[in-house]
Structure 1
Amino acid sequence: MRIVRRLAWPLGAALAIPVMAAPMPAAAVDTALPSAVEGFAYPDAAKILADRHITLKTGDGHITLAECASGAGQIHLFSRQAAPEEVCFKVSGPTGYLAVEIPKVYTIRGDGEHTVKAIVSTDGNTTTIDVPKDVWTAVGESGSSRNASTLLELTATDGPAVPSPSGDFPAVGTVTVDQPGRNPNAKACTATLVDRNWVLTAASCFGDKPAAGAPAAKSTATIGGRTVDIAELAPRTDRDLVMARLAITVNDITPASVGVTAPTAAENLRVAGYGRTATEWAPLKAHTTTHTVSALTTTTIDTTPAVGQAPICQGDAGAPLLRNKNGATEIAAVASRSWQGGCLGTPATETRTNATGVRVDDLAGWVQQTRAKAVGWKTQALVRSDNNLYFATRLYDGSWTPYEDVQAAAGNIGGVRAVATAGINTSTHIVALGGDGHLHYAIRDLDGGWGQKFVDVNTTVSDLGNISQVSVSPVGGDLHVVVVADGFLFHSVRYSTGQWTSFKVVTDVTGPLNGITSISAAGAADGGLHIAAVSGGTVYHTLRNAGGGWSTWGSVAEAAGATAPVTAVAISRQNSDLNLALIASDGQYHTLRWANGSWQPIASLSSVIGNITGTSISAAPVDTDAQFAIATSDNKVLLTARHSDGTWSTPETLDLAAIPGNHTGTMITSTL
């Protein structure tokens, strides 16, 4: 190998520091702020071409031109066209990609830390060359062909892993769309984990007005050093904002909270982003700056950097603008556009640094409703108020979605006199007794849509009269419906195919049970169906086996112990056992029916929920828990759960403040 004297090249020129950039004509008359989305065009490529006679096109930001230094740590090459001939690149991170056009390259050396491949063109033929670490490899006129070669691409892999980000912003990461540097439509933004399944970022990162659903191009999010695919987009149509659902849940990072307080003029907000800085193209850890709010609209805020603080740059779109409130950090807005004066790749003639972000303080309901679209155990509550019915979902962290008016969404049935609900996979099935005295059936889907709006069961299945009670339960993928009508107990099945069986009288085979005042149904692990019914202040139990046969009524008081007269009952499967809770005139009680048919002695729930006066009760299996909702005489609803180990959760109160009218009952279920 002949030795070539290395000519020094100033660092500022190699990195194309903005102060050395050529003037940008007419920038001062522009009125629209540029997008802060990273597009992966090489910063200051035109100036580098003019100064160095090499073309740097696009890349992922992790292979960048550098001042040549001796020793390992850089990719070195020599080109007879470059000025000077020696050209060096630094690889940051474990991988990197750069598209170039450097003619007359005759030797390349790897950086000693990465596996490097070079794509060169010689006489119209493209060849991939493996570049060993710290070894000079002859190419072009120095190689076997003896013909001039043009370097087209550099790819680096297998480099040292980057430590997972830590510090103040573990929930802040990046979103990457398509293949950086390889596809002209590739983009990158900053994003924030706001749920174990969702990140919040700029919609413009996914193109102009992205559609809801799967991204148009392969997209990923990197949070806490882990990269996962993005499976779904939920964009806003009124501002540059999108929630992106992750294909894999992130359980080891605490999501950031979305604030509900509007930003105010002169408020300082801290921006955490992965965009460009004055000297870096694609930083490997989040950097921060402080911006001051200068103006607000209904959907946006204008900001300027505080004194001595950095601008928002390309790649910072989607970055959270954060405030501290009551000792906690919350998102007040999300970065969108900026003039980017002082950012790497911005001409020195551009000195403006103000930016525009989008507000999130009015979107708490949308965020919660979007979070609820992810698959995972959730509790649904159907709350009756006067003759109206409202629906809400409890998420895994204990927060709730806003209430939805069911009749406004699924159809007006003349008011709701009673309701039952059951979750089957990701759908919520609702059977309601309407103001017309008929049963009506609807299905709410995971995405919040109503796949089946209310249909009249009386006209489509069986015309039952004088309906007073209704309960439903899933058994496999089927819905079992139990109804008290004309003083009789009826049973029907809606199969997963959508077909219904006609209602049949249960008491014809279980034996009579008169004056039923409360019923509850729960599926069994073996495909059976439990029914508990209150008659004459006593709870009775029957079981329909998987083959369709019924057992005769059995007294729960005789099997588990007596209580004062009972007014309401609720049952729920838990693994292979059956939970039964009841409201008696002297308090609330609980018992278990074991899988072998024996009963646990009944016990008071006062140690769990206190000394309350319950008026109605509902139960549902939620993952491995049995959850209970108890309406009280003081217009509250208490939620508690029995865990599989026999312990109970601390009760919480369902917030009914947003529901107008008088609370008349709450039913719960669960879905995935």
Structure 2
Amino acid sequence: MSAQSKRMSVRLAAAAAVAAVATSIAVVPAGAVALPAMPAEFQLTINTDAYNTPFHTTRHADGTWSSWDQVPDMYYNPGGTTSLTQTEHAGVTFLASNYAGQIQFLIRDTAGNWTSPTGTTAPIPGEVPIWHSGNTPATTPITKMLGSAFVDNEFHLIAQAGNGYPYEVVRHADGTWGDWTELAGQLGNIGTITDFSAATTNGSDLQFTAVAGGKLWHTKRATSADAFTAWGDVFAVSSNPGTAEHVAAAGVSGELQVVVTGNNGAGVFHAIRHADGTWTRFGDVEAATRSNPGTVTGVGIAATNTLSTGPNLQVVVVNNTGGLFHTVRNSSGSWTTFGDVNANVPGSHAGHATTVSGAGE
């Protein structure tokens, strides 16, 4: 079978999976109490080099993992996914990805079913207006999903366009989408953004961390009605662990926790931005876990158990051979040893992991 035929077979199988799923999303009835295990689950989605195919698994509250499932392709075609972001709200995972300017939006409900609310039609355009008027051309394509967060019960999606600028779009609670908004004019210029993460710490704010020029930068919008603060150099107010390469952030107990990888993949570092705006120093995660995941090329994190008295941070890194390694930072500040995800997840995924994204609540 040719590579193209194999690629088509993978996508047709995914299309069949989508078609078999009902379009409605299960929700918890008003007044009902969610199961304690739900907010403790960690959602891991990876992109692979097998035709850029994404796969998903869940780490349950008891530490076990679900089998790998392939994330469906809403377009029913052999196109792959070059970047993705996901976030979780009320036990439901919202995932956005893109490939060659096509934007896909999928929802994974509490029963584990993936659906595309807009069928095979993109929910939002893959072209965005260029901020400065008079430019030719007047639009530029979306090239990369940067991050996402649930703010005031709405899904905020951040993406990077061909001009290098970040853009934001909002999916409202009723399922409708707003328009793309260019953010560079609000945020200021820190140079070329090479990695990025979005998070909320209280459900109303929106905080960004970005890697540019080997440094880590941070900005915050207190509410959707407020302006973003100016980019701040995190290493300058925390500590400098070296050259930053990748970043992931999550809100934990009203504070922002950040994991940065760098130094040619040789280091993984963690810091906390407190509610008062001060930062801890960056700690060496490999030293804290007493384990080495190899040369790290990406990181995904999420908070879990945030609705209980013992919130923790779950971290997955991917290395240069496609290996996936997971650790937990407990509410006490202690870390578990990096564990081999592929060795613990039942079954296998096609290809090698290239990027990772985490979600939880």
Q: TM-score range by the shorter chain?
A: 0.7 to 0.9
Match of 2:247 in 1: 569
Match of 2:229 in 1: 551
Higher relative contact order (CA 8 A, sep 6+): 2
Residue deviations 1:5-29 (CA, integer Å, cap 9, x gap): xxxxxxxxxxxxxxxxxxxxxxxxx
Q: Match of 2:56, as an amino acid?
A: F
The DSSP-based 3-state class of the residue aligned with 1:501 is coil
Match of 2:41 in 1: 378
1:570 is displaced (CA, Å) by 0.6
Match of 2:101 in 1: 437
Between the aligned partners of 2:170 and 2:231, the Cα distance in structure 1 is 21
Q: Match of 2:122, as an amino acid?
A: D
Contact 1:389 / 1:416 at 8 angstroms: preserved in 2? yes
Matched, 1:475 2:171: no
1:498 is displaced (CA, Å) by 1.3
- 1:404 corresponds, among 63, 69, 72, to 69
Between the aligned partners of 1:489 and 1:248, the Cα distance in structure 2 is 35
Between the aligned partners of 1:634 and 1:404, the Cα distance in structure 2 is 21
Match of 2:160 in 1: 484
1:518 is displaced (CA, Å) by 0.2
1:424 is displaced (CA, Å) by 0.9
1:666 is displaced (CA, Å) by 1.8
Residue deviations 1:592-631 (CA, integer Å, cap 9, x gap): 1001000001121122343332110011111111211111
Match of 2:339 in 1: 652
Contact 2:82 / 2:98 at 8 angstroms: preserved in 1? yes
The DSSP-based 3-state class of the residue aligned with 1:459 is coil
- Structure 2 gaps of 5+ residues are 1-32, 130-139, 306-310
Trace 1:195-214 onto structure 2 (pairs within 5 A): none
Between the aligned partners of 2:313 and 2:232, the Cα distance in structure 1 is 23
1:462 is displaced (CA, Å) by 4.8
The DSSP-based 3-state class of the residue aligned with 2:237 is helix
1:649 is displaced (CA, Å) by 2.6
Match of 2:89 in 1: 424
Q: Match of 2:222, as an amino acid?
A: N
- 1:667 corresponds, among 348, 354, 357, to 357
Between the aligned partners of 2:34 and 2:177, the Cα distance in structure 1 is 37
Contact 1:441 / 1:455 at 8 angstroms: preserved in 2? no
RMSD of aligned Cα (Å): 2.5
The DSSP-based 3-state class of the residue aligned with 2:342 is coil
Between the aligned partners of 1:455 and 1:392, the Cα distance in structure 2 is 26
Contact 1:507 / 1:513 at 8 angstroms: preserved in 2? no
Residue 641 to residue 475, structure 1, CA distance change in 2 (3 Å) = farther
Q: Match of 1:659, as an amino acid?
A: H
Match of 1:393 in 2: 58
- 1:620 corresponds, among 295, 299, 302, to 302
Contact 1:475 / 1:524 at 8 angstroms: preserved in 2? no
Between the aligned partners of 1:443 and 1:569, the Cα distance in structure 2 is 24
Residue deviations 1:387-443 (CA, integer Å, cap 9, x gap): 101111111112222211112588547101011010111211000012x32221111
Q: TM-score, length-normalised on structure 2? A: 0.77
Matched, 1:634 2:335: no
Contact 1:483 / 1:490 at 8 angstroms: preserved in 2? yes
Q: Match of 2:153, as an amino acid?
A: G
Residue 622 to residue 410, structure 1, CA distance change in 2 (3 Å) = farther
The DSSP-based 3-state class of the residue aligned with 1:396 is coil
Match of 1:507 in 2: 184
Residue 437 to residue 589, structure 1, CA distance change in 2 (3 Å) = same
Q: Match of 2:329, as an amino acid?
A: R
Contact 2:197 / 2:249 at 8 angstroms: preserved in 1? yes
Residue 645 to residue 451, structure 1, CA distance change in 2 (3 Å) = same
Match of 2:284 in 1: 604
387-396 vs 408-417, greater mean Cα deviation: 408-417
Residue deviations 1:146-185 (CA, integer Å, cap 9, x gap): xxxxxxxxxxxxxxxxxxxxxxxxxxxxxxxxxxxxxxxx
Match of 1:465 in 2: 141
Between the aligned partners of 2:156 and 2:321, the Cα distance in structure 1 is 33
- 2:200 corresponds, among 507, 510, 523, to 523
Trace 1:199-598 onto structure 2 (pairs within 5 A): 375-386=38-49, 387-407=52-72, 411-412=76-77, 414-434=79-99, 436-453=100-117, 455-459=121-125, 462=128, 465-485=141-161, 486-525=163-202, 527-546=204-223, 547-585=225-263, 586-598=266-278
1:563 is displaced (CA, Å) by 2.4
Residue deviations 1:331-359 (CA, integer Å, cap 9, x gap): xxxxxxxxxxxxxxxxxxxxxxxxxxxxx
The DSSP-based 3-state class of the residue aligned with 1:399 is coil
Between the aligned partners of 1:498 and 1:466, the Cα distance in structure 2 is 21
Between the aligned partners of 1:388 and 1:375, the Cα distance in structure 2 is 27
Between the aligned partners of 1:625 and 1:248, the Cα distance in structure 2 is 19
The DSSP-based 3-state class of the residue aligned with 1:645 is coil
* Larger CA Rg, structure 1 vs 2: 1
Identity fraction in percent = 22
Contact 1:461 / 1:500 at 8 angstroms: preserved in 2? no
Between the aligned partners of 2:78 and 2:228, the Cα distance in structure 1 is 33
The DSSP-based 3-state class of the residue aligned with 1:579 is strand
Residue 526 to residue 445, structure 1, CA distance change in 2 (3 Å) = closer
1:542 is displaced (CA, Å) by 0.4
Between the aligned partners of 2:96 and 2:108, the Cα distance in structure 1 is 11
The DSSP-based 3-state class of the residue aligned with 1:655 is helix
Residue deviations 1:522-559 (CA, integer Å, cap 9, x gap): 01216101100111111100001112321000001101
Residue 490 to residue 248, structure 1, CA distance change in 2 (3 Å) = closer
Between the aligned partners of 2:39 and 2:241, the Cα distance in structure 1 is 37
Count of residue pairs brought into register by the alignment? 302
Contact 1:421 / 1:428 at 8 angstroms: preserved in 2? yes
Between the aligned partners of 2:104 and 2:128, the Cα distance in structure 1 is 12
Residue 544 to residue 455, structure 1, CA distance change in 2 (3 Å) = farther
Q: TM-score, length-normalised on structure 1? A: 0.42
Between the aligned partners of 2:184 and 2:260, the Cα distance in structure 1 is 22
Contact 1:469 / 1:517 at 8 angstroms: preserved in 2? no
1:509 is displaced (CA, Å) by 1.4
The DSSP-based 3-state class of the residue aligned with 1:407 is coil
